Amino acid sequence: MGNKVTTFTDSQLEAYQDCTFFTRQDILRVFERFRELAPDLVPYDMTSDEGSQIKIPLETLEEMPELKENPFRRRICEVFSDDGNGDMSFDHFLDMFSVFSEAAPRDIKSSYAFRIYDYDRDNHLGKLDLEKTLVALTQASLTPEEVEFVVNKVLEETDLDDDGMLSFVEFEHVISRAPEFINTFHIRI
């Protein structure tokens, strides 16, 4: 009889399965990925409340291979963290991987994409949000005039109610016409 380390209780795993698009095995793989980022900080045993309180700092999360090259890595972490500062507990890390999984439906992905692009968190994508998004996507390779031109064109073609910003419904309409969106909004575990 060996000493078997229990990472999660059965009820914890069931709860994670209920609120993600993952199997038990997937959840344990995501946990291993989480633990690898900060092995001195994250214990193997997450059955106590203490385990769920441990957070990996934003700076560490930004360096993980799945996010390192993503121009939105900081915003992704901020959106998925509970307080918006980017530090993540396992629960939030698992949520992030679940939303970015192949099994997550388009409506959930588009909801989180909208939140990632909504830099000022006002529930609309205004000019400044669109400018920041474009600068991130192009790695600041456009001139300010080019950025303004593109943002104005985007609003001209997608702002259905002419209020100078995109609502979630307008954003979702644009995303629904972009079949590649589902493939690019993805992290493989």
Predicted confidence (pLDDT) per residue in 140-151, tens digit = 999 999 999 999
- Asked if residue 148 is part of any domain, the answer here is yes
Domain end residue (candidates: 99, 130, 165):
99
Predicted confidence (pLDDT) per residue in 108-152, tens digit = 999 999 999 999 999 999 999 999 999 999 999 999 999 999 999
At residue 5, the pLDDT reads 54
Instruction: For residues 119 and 41, state if they share a domain.
Output: no
In the chain, the number of structural domains is 2
Over 80: is that where the pLDDT of 96 sits?
yes
Sequence-distant (6+) residues with CB within 8 A of 124 are: 118, 165, 166, 167
Measured from the Cβ of residue 23, the count of other Cβ atoms closer than 10 Å reads 13
Domain end residue (candidates: 47, 70, 99):
99
Sequence-distant (6+) residues with CB within 8 A of 152 are: none
CB-hemisphere CA count at 13 Å for 65?
4
Checking 49-58 for CB contacts under 8 A at 24+ apart, the result is 51/90, 52/89, 52/90, 52/91, 53/89, 54/89, 54/90, 55/81, 55/87, 55/88, 55/89, 56/87, 56/88, 56/93, 57/86, 57/87, 58/85, 58/86, 58/87, 58/88
Dist CA 127 CA 148 (whole Å):
9
Whether the predicted model's global pTM rises above the 0.85 cut: yes
**Neighbouring-strand partners of residue 89:** 55
Instruction: For residues 71 and 119, state if they share a domain.
Output: no
Instruction: For residues 93 and 32, state if they share a domain.
Output: yes
Sequence-distant (6+) residues with CB within 8 A of 169 are: none
Q: Are the CB atoms for 93 and 34 separated by under 8 Å?
A: yes
Domain of 110 in residue numbering reads as 106-184
Q: Which residue has the higher pLDDT, 23 or 1?
A: 23
Q: CATH number of the domain at 115, please.
A: 1.10.238.10
Instruction: For residues 86 and 113, state if they share a domain.
Output: no
Predicted confidence (pLDDT) per residue in 19-64, tens digit = 999 999 999 999 999 999 999 999 989 988 776 789 999 999 999 9
